[in-house]
Structure 1
């Protein structure tokens, strides 16, 4: 559970670092936006690295990465709709269903350990 919570929090920081400037800071030069994003991303790394370290063993590397991608997209969905005011269309839902299928196959079956 700590792994999932840390990944959720790290992805909030990552989403703001990568996409926050699309809504805010248009009057700033790009180099300043990059530096601000790096500063925000620092906190993402401070959460993501421990999440992966704690989770490895309970989850495989493949499972950690797939979990991280699903969490990233879920966080981004909320950000895009609530902050960027973008419309969530049917084709995005279809893509999420396919990713849900990927997550199912990654976690539903026992895989051999290295």
Structure 2
């Protein structure tokens, strides 16, 4: 296969992925809407759940935690380090962050630069 055909196929695949992502976004949104409607129905009927064919649908309650922003995480960690008796919490926090980073590995990546066409 020539390089020109590979480049055209690459562009075609990227377009297909973009289109699939847009379709999947709409499908996920519709799925969430339908699931909310099913939960409302179960609540309105004051039932434990609903059976349909070979499936049963029940409402499950779980505890979920919101993510903290980076500044909140940093300040909470530094405060904890101070509470544990570490005098320089900021320095200890930075050391902890540096330890968590893995070794650098060189990778190769194809960089694509789009040129403006003369016709536009």
TM-score in terms of structure 2 length: 0.25
Query: Which structure's residues are more often strand, by fraction?
Result: 2
What is the TM-score when the length of structure 1 is the normalising length?
Answer: 0.26
